[in-house]
Structures are given as C-alpha cells and as structure tokens.
Structure 1
Amino acid sequence: MAGAIHATGLVKTFGDVRAVDGVDLDVPEGSVLGLLGPNGAGKTTMVRLLTTLLRPDAGTATVAGHDVVRDPDSVRLAIGLSGQFAAVDDRLTGRENLRMIGELYGLRSRPARRRADELLDRFDLAGAADRVSSTYSGGMRRRLDLACALVVRPSVMFLDEPSVGLDPTSRLLLWDAIEELVRQGTTLLLTTQYLEEADRLAQDLAVVDHGRIIARGTPHDLKARAGGRRIELVVSWSEQLDAAARLLTRLAGRTPDVDRPRATVSAPAEGGVQLLAEVVTALDAEGIEITDIGLRRPTLDEVFLALTENVSPGTGRAAVGVGAPSEKE
C-alpha cells in the first residue's frame, strides 16, 4: 500500500538541468522524512512537485491518496505548506492573516479566531497580533508564515527549510509545534540544511544531490557512515599545532585534519570519552596548551561529503545508501 507521500520516476527539468531526476519515494503515514542536501540539490523542486506548485515532466506522485496532476485541488486541501520565503499578506495584521487562512480551509469564525490566538501565543506573536505584518521583522514574518501553515492540522505537512532566519527560541517553538502535529498523526516531509533539526524531527533521512536521492537511513546510520564522533581541539599557540597533530595521530590511530587558520586539529574518535581523557592527559604532559577540546558528531557538510565521495561514477548512486538506496531524486 502506498504511503501518505508516494512518487515513482518523478522528473522535472528546466532547460538542460534535470532538477529532479527519476525520484522514487514512499513516506509512510504518520512518519517524518528529512531531505538533506546543499543548495541546488533539488529539494525545493521536489516539494513544489508534490504540493502541485509545479507539474512533473514525467513520473507520478500521490499525496494523501490524491494524484498531484489529476486531482490537485484535493491535494491542496489535505496538506499544509511552508516554503522558504514567508508568504503572508502585508496589508493584514498577524491575527487577520491567521483567521483568513482558517476560514479559507473551512473553519467557522469562532474556531478560526480561537486557533489564531493559540498560534499567536505559541509563536510569541501575541504582542504584535494587531499590527499589520508589513511592520514585522524578518524573523517575525517567518514565524507568522509557519503559524499559517499550522492553522489546520493537515494529514500531510511540507516544510521547506522552516527554521532559516529563526532565532534559537523561535526554532525551539517551531520544533515543539511540529512534534505535536506528528504525535497527532500528521505525515511530514522536511527539507533542511541543519543536522540538529533533522536529528530531532526526522525518523528517516534522505540525502539529495543533483536531483537524486543518493542515500537513505536514520540519522544515526548516516552519521555513522560519516565517521561517527570526532575529537576536536583548538591549540592556544599556533606553534604547537603540529605537535598536537602528532599527538592525536598517535592516540587516535588516524591522521587528523588540521585547520591552520582556526588552529584546530580533529580526528575520528572511536574511543569516545576514554580517548578524550587520554588526549587531555597527554596534552598536559607535553605542555601543549589548548583553548577548547571536545567530542562532537559530524556536521551536515561532513555527512554529505562522506556520502557523495562514495557515489558510483556515472550513476549518481551512493554505495552507502541505507534502507532504500535505489531511490533517487
């Protein structure tokens, strides 16, 4: 049985560019799929195809059981969407924007007002509720746009890089709201460049490059393929950088990465906390002064680079894909 989001052989081209290149995708009902990848990888084009904003050149797709080409109106009624840029009416107040969206989705006046008030409180906009949105800051407009996407509790939600431009407090408010929707059974497709966001919200991740899905798996699976945890230290004096690199080579058993402008040395840390303790002791014994040291997980860049390094020539497919490695975007 097809999932809440299902695509087969989805293609979209712009001139000579295949922005989406034969994507097969299935997202089970009530689950969260995170799409990761650099700018221009095809993530937003995929979202626009699945939300009926673009028509595919080839392939088929259904969302909430409705065909995106043959029955786009039913798709639009079933979904919520927040794109990369805030789409609010500058002539209306924050409260009026939310009430308008609610009434367009069929809410009566009183429930629409009540839902608007709930979202204004949730996104810390109550104090500006009756100001026209043209007077909002960029971050406030982004929060209002996200609130508009949550007015109704859709069966399928699409969020395209939702936390771009948000401060840490607003980002946490957004994550809480998304998690509540998922608990209520909403299926979510999320595009993001933040591994922390994908880590928290997505049970399943797909890494996208050149219009294809090159790897699929849980956050833990993909980070493990990027080398797991790393130990990273910053020396106080650049003259001690080479000595610190030799020490880390000896203890970690791997040639470390050296960033001279940042006076940083890092290497895979298979020994975890035990290795960290050994390195701290050795640094002290050799008189190497540091300003910072710690264990960290791979960044999104490291995950993406580790995966794309294993792409088979001429196919665009990654040898390290997990779960559904044959799926492409």
Structure 2
Amino acid sequence: MNITEYTPFHHPESLYVVNEELIADEELQGANLLMSFTGFSDAGQVVSQISKELKEQLSAEPLAVFDIDQLIDYRSRRPRITFTEDRLSDYRAPSLVLYRMVDALGTPFLYLTGSEPDLQWERFSRAVLGLVERLDVNLVAWVHSVPMPVPHTRPIGATVHGNRPDLIDGISAWKTTMEIPAAIGHVLEIKLAETGRNVVGYAIHVPHYLSDAEYPPAAVAGLEYLGAAASLMLPSERLREAGRAVERQITEQVEGSAEVATIVSNLEKQYDEHSDGVARRSLLAGDNDELPDADELGAAVEAYLASRDAKPHSGPETGIS
C-alpha cells in the first residue's frame, strides 16, 4: 500500500466544535488573531492576567471550542478544586477556546486562549492553521512571559520574534542564539510563517524575583504590545491600578532591607550598562556572556523575610513578601 494513500490520523477538524453561524460572519474575514496559552512559562502570571482581563472586559463569544480531553494530561497537570470543611466546589476545568471579541473601538478580532495542549501538537497545529485559513486571518500575535534578571525599577522589556520586521526592529532587548524548550506558541509561529501568514510573538521579561506571583505591570506591557501589533484598543486600566499598588508594596519591602536594596541596585547598574545603545549579543549578559544567577537575590530575599517578625499580610501579593 502506498503510505501516502493511507492516513491513520484523525482529521484535525474533529478536535473542535465550531459555531458555524459566527464563523460565517463577514466581519471576521481578514481579522487579526491574538493567542496566549497557560502551562508553559507564565512568569508573573502575565498570560493568566491578560486572558482574564480580555474575557471580563470585552464582548467574547466562543467561535470554536476545542475538545480538551483529547489534549490535556490531567495527571501531570492536575486542575484545581476547592475543599471547604466537608464539601468540594469550584472545580476549575481546563479549556481551550477561540473567541470572537470586539475591542473598545468596535473592531472585531479573534482570541485563542486556554491551557497549552500536552498532547497532539501536530494535529492541534493543523486545526489552528485550518481555522486561520478559513477566516483568512491577517496577522497572528501571541504573548508569553519569561523570568529574567532585570530590575523592577526599569521599563518592562520583551524579546520579539516572527516574520514582520516592522513589528520587531527596535523592540527586542535580548538578542542571542540558543536552544530553548518549545511551547505550542513557538510551533504555531513556525508553521504560520511557513504558510506565509503574518505572525509575531512577544516574550515579556519579568523580574525573576517576582516571577512566581502576579505582576500586573508585565501584563500591561503584554497588552500594549498585542494592541499595537494588531491595531486594537485593549483594556488595561484595572491592571494599571493593580500594578501601582504592587509597585508601592515592592518599594516598601526593598527599602526595608539594605541587602535586598543593594542587589536591586546592582541589577539596575547592570541593566543600564547594557542598554546604553551599544549593540550586544545579549542585553543581560556580562562581559563573559553569562547570565546572572537568580540564587543570590533569592537567598537575600529569604534571609530578609526570615528576619522579619510575623505579621498579618495585607495588600497585593508579590513575590518578595
């Protein structure tokens, strides 16, 4: 038998259920598509915050709902559930949905968000590319976040990649060559580019000592990059307000420890030295091109916290409190 005549794989269209009436809307033809997935690297919970803000602040209608049971390994990434005294509630089931949304100026766009698939990446990619083709998507822009040895007192940076030089040039702060673990966003970006689709990805740099908690300023930066790329007015006021509160708390905690303040100051010095306009292989690398280690700062923060008397916590949670 000719192997090209035998296709043992399920059709990618069987991975999702589509709203046929909605997908036939002529306004969506040529619209831009935004993407964000949880489960890979979500430093500062940037993706989680962006997804929540868009779904709560904008009109969102499910256009295609993916069969999450075919894509998730529940035992390796167990969903959360709440146990209260003698009962269970608030089971947070994973999901992966393509939404039709409308921005603040009435511009329709698409948003694919949810849990990064554990399984069937090739089939899922074919499914997404099929939807992109059917809707004749103009531009795909996606965002994720990574922990970086940068100070919270400097502007949020990003590493930008894709096939649109006009959206990349002059933005990327970190330029290097290295092998990294792939995320589904990376795979989709490569396959979209191979088919000639416009695509751009933004990796938001989150201070590594704040990467385990919500860091709203980084989510605001992600929304700004996505909005600028796709010419959309995306909501960010609530995140900006939360960010101001978090920044005040961080400032108080840094000022409360001379050791932590010194380390943050050293990060500022390193950042400033390598962002003075001189071309470098990496904004963050030192003279020997090695990235700074987070352990020193983490140890200093832990020592500072251990020295504090226990007291009730109030205000937004940060990664150093």
Flag whether TM exceeds 0.5 (same fold).
no
- TM superposition score normalised by structure 1: 0.27
Larger Rg: 1
